[in-house]
Chains A and B, each alone.
Chain A
Amino acid sequence: MRKTLVTAVIAVLFFTALLGVAYPLAITGVSQVAFHGRANGSQLKVDGSVVGSRLLAQGFVIDTGRKDADGNPITRPNPRYFQPRPSQTDYNAASTAFSNRGPNDASARDFYRDALGAYLRLERPYTPGLTARRVPVDAVTTSASGVDPQISEANARIQANRVARVRRLPLARVQRLAAEHTDGRALGVLGEPGVNVTELNLALSRLR
């Protein structure tokens, strides 16, 4: 009995040192050398300062100057940029959470109704005849992580009309840029294709 307990205590120390310190430090060391950019979060930099990660969404909004009941600033989408999927956490990458909207929640219905209305208000002036039937679901549902960097290709096609008009760029040029920042299925078969909004908007901001 006593011998078993002693062995157990030694095992805790030994395996913690091996699996909890040596192993992760070794992986960290190799990763930092072999995959420096990716191991540190695929950071995007402009003039040396970090503007985000290519793997994470961020907000592209304009501050309206007004505040809501809780004192948080009210923002509206910046029409010069592609808009990422709705986020439960306001694109917070340091405190993530699910929306936990259930399938039969009345509050979920209200949320989708608002999101659909907002999307149509933003896009319909530039995509005449846009109806709910043609709004892709990714545009009006919150992502799991709250920082999903991608939108669907159908969503990007609609938004390209707006971005081109507002920026006074040829539509074909914006569409080409969107296509350049579209990740296909991995190995041609795994996952779903999507347009990386963060990278696409960075490329847009560099146009002039």
Chain B
Amino acid sequence: MAQGLLQIAIFCAVLVAVRPLLGGYMAKVFTGQRVLISPVVAPLERLTYRVLRVDPARGQSWKLYAGSLLALSAAFWLALYLILRTQTLHPWNPEGFHSGTWDVTFNTASSFVTNTNWQYYVGETTMSYFSQMAGLAVQNFISAGVGIVVAVALIRAIAHRRGAQLGAPEGTIGNFWVDLTRALLYLLLPIAIVGALVLVSQGVIQTLGSYVNVKGIAGGSGQLALGPVASQEVIKELGTNGGGFFNVNSAMPFENPNGISNFLELFLILVIPVSLTATYGRMVGSRRQGDAIFAAMAIVFVAGVIVCYVAEQHGTPAQHAAGLHTAAFDGSTGGNLEGKEQRFGIANSSLWTVVTTVTSCGAVNAALESLTGFGGLVPFANLSMSETIFGGVGTGLYSMLLFVLLAVFIGGLMVGRTPEYLGKKIEAREIKLVALGTLFTPLVVLVTSALAVATKYGAPSIVASGPQGFSETLYAYASQANNNGSAFAGYTGYVQPKPGNLGAFGITFADLLGGLAMLIARFAPILIVLAIAGSLLSKRAAPAGLGTLRTDTPTFVGLLVSVVVIVGALTFFPALLLGPVVQGLTDRLF
């Protein structure tokens, strides 16, 4: 295990080193300052504003900001739905795939517009290259950008009247179109271009050619499914989207061929969520505030990695019952290698599982359904904490800031003072919105899961029996409502007897329930966060006094972690007992 822990330590060290650099860069980008690539990008930025007919000097109220965000998301939803339903007309459809059914397409369009990337389809047997490139991958950029700009708007509201330069016209939370354009052109696209080429150099494929027929080395025949994978793979990770080009996602060697590509992809998933905490510190004018949030996130993350790694190294009851020996020895990783790739082994599969479930990435390089009971409990726990531990790009920070306000409120009650955060008083209106915001997603998870297990309509989607079947269902709705997109893949909303998408049909109940969960649990919290931003914006920032609860101390970090864990645990403990906890505690087979 020492070698695996070393790899995990190297990964964490690289992120800690990059955090202030990218964090500072993003602070410059979102406060409108010049950066290194400005000479190249600024003309394209100006062209964008001209085409969109946007005046970059004009700020927006929170309602106008939210309205623009909703309008763009709705337009993109419609565009994506139309693209996916007209596949027979597409260019770059060498395999001649037909379109998905309306219910599956409803789910998929909702999934990609909300940064979820839940997949009730098999990429390589149903999607044209055009759908993947111009439909799905575009959403990977846009939905990531939308998440980031909401976080930026909230940061501006908190920092407003604290004397820092914010890159927004006085008295506004910014301009949605400007923020989105800058997020895309200065942040996501440049990193994607470099990352995609590095991935291709490692063996990730990038071609528009048709599938290649193969006559095997020892006879037999097969087919190589190809496509423009690298350009999508990189933004799928960078934007914490997670929707694989192939059905088995980043376990497929064409998406993730070796240790270097795996490390790079893991790095891309976490780098923006991690660095945004540094951006936050800079924009509010106190780096320690950002460091405190980072520390709280890092503590929970590292604990999850260790639990998952130890559990996976142990093997499963089914393996032991069959007489397998899962101890490591010279030349064998040992452990639960079911649903894992040899080149990643136990350590990198466990690390990946935790990285993609603390963030809302949802890409997988190993099968979640085949994790051990306690190993599988870690992704569950991460979803239970509403994707606040680093979380999706932007979404993680703004969700965590809601918990920060909640912790400040609870701390304020304990010391008997009006709670305030960075000098701004947290009053009834804010705390009502915060309560709504923090409980909204868990509520959606529990209601949809209950509908799916308590009615007969959920049953056709469940593959496994016993507690595993319950875990599949709970995970499906937790993942969709949290906009994560990873899956205990036994749960399905789609049946495809033959490749080629002919004769395929959706399971309408699962498609619609999941699609609605994704949409409502994405946009309701965004509206709540922007409303809080509008409310905080106008408040005066009072200087800190002797009785102020400091929010940059280890004590506060402890309080914050406790609040996040307790809210998540209280909400989900009963449900988790029925699934992964039962499986982790018993050697019984079902």
Return A67 CB to nearest CB of chain B, in Å: 16
Return B586 CB to nearest CB of chain A, in Å: 7
- Of A15, A97, A150, the residue contacting B248 (CB under 8 A) is A97
Q: Do B370 and A94 touch across chains, with their CB atoms under 8 A apart? A: no
Please judge, given known A-B contacts A12-B79, A201-B217, whether A94 and B211 are in contact too, CB under 8 Å: yes
In the complex, what residues of B have CB within 8 A of residue A101's CB?
318, 338-339, 369-370
Q: How many of A's residues come within 8 Å of B, CB to CB?
A: 111
Q: Do A109 and B367 touch across chains, with their CB atoms under 8 A apart? A: no
Assess whether B179 is interfacial by the CB under 8 Å rule.
no
In the complex, what residues of A have CB within 8 A of residue B53's CB?
3, 6-7, 10
In the complex, what residues of B have CB within 8 A of residue A192's CB?
259, 333, 342-345, 347-348
**CB contact list, B361-387 vs A, under 8 A:** 364-367, 369-373, 376
Q: Do B223 and A93 touch across chains, with their CB atoms under 8 A apart? A: yes
- Of A23, A50, A100, the residue contacting B231 (CB under 8 A) is A23
Q: Do A137 and B583 touch across chains, with their CB atoms under 8 A apart? A: no
- Of A12, A16, A144, A153, the residue contacting B331 (CB under 8 A) is A153
Q: Do A104 and B590 touch across chains, with their CB atoms under 8 A apart? A: yes
In the complex, what residues of B have CB within 8 A of residue A53's CB?
214, 224, 253-254
Inter-chain CA distance A136–B346, complex, in Å, is 13
Assess whether B203 is interfacial by the CB under 8 Å rule.
yes
In the complex, what residues of A have CB within 8 A of residue B137's CB?
19-20, 24
Q: Do B224 and A56 touch across chains, with their CB atoms under 8 A apart? A: yes
Closest to A46 in B: B217
Q: Do A148 and B342 touch across chains, with their CB atoms under 8 A apart? A: yes
Closest to A92 in B: B222
- Of B74, B134, B367, the residue contacting A99 (CB under 8 A) is B367
In the complex, what residues of A have CB within 8 A of residue B98's CB?
none
- Of B7, B246, B372, B590, the residue contacting A190 (CB under 8 A) is B7
Q: Do B318 and A104 touch across chains, with their CB atoms under 8 A apart? A: yes
In the complex, what residues of A have CB within 8 A of residue B228's CB?
24, 27-28
In the complex, what residues of B have CB within 8 A of residue A20's CB?
133-135, 137-138
Q: Do A99 and B370 touch across chains, with their CB atoms under 8 A apart? A: yes
Closest to B51 in A: A14
Q: Do A58 and B125 touch across chains, with their CB atoms under 8 A apart? A: no
Return A182 CB to nearest CB of chain B, in Å: 10
Q: Report how many A-B pairs have Cβ atoms within 8 Å.
A: 409
Q: Do A112 and B247 touch across chains, with their CB atoms under 8 A apart? A: no
Assess whether B226 is interfacial by the CB under 8 Å rule.
yes
In the complex, what residues of A have CB within 8 A of residue B263's CB?
186, 190-191
Q: Do B339 and A58 touch across chains, with their CB atoms under 8 A apart? A: no
Assess whether B316 is interfacial by the CB under 8 Å rule.
yes
Closest to B220 in A: A59
Closest to A148 in B: B341
Inter-chain CA distance A109–B100, complex, in Å, is 36
Return A93 CB to nearest CB of chain B, in Å: 5
Return A150 CB to nearest CB of chain B, in Å: 4
Q: Do B134 and A35 touch across chains, with their CB atoms under 8 A apart? A: no
Q: Do A93 and B189 touch across chains, with their CB atoms under 8 A apart? A: no
Q: Do B248 and A28 touch across chains, with their CB atoms under 8 A apart? A: no
- Of A3, A46, A154, the residue contacting B330 (CB under 8 A) is A154
In the complex, what residues of A have CB within 8 A of residue B209's CB?
40
Assess whether B303 is interfacial by the CB under 8 Å rule.
no
Assess whether B467 is interfacial by the CB under 8 Å rule.
yes
Chain A to chain B contacts (Cβ below 8 Å), 6 pairs: A24-B133, A27-B228, A53-B254, A104-B318, A192-B347, A198-B217
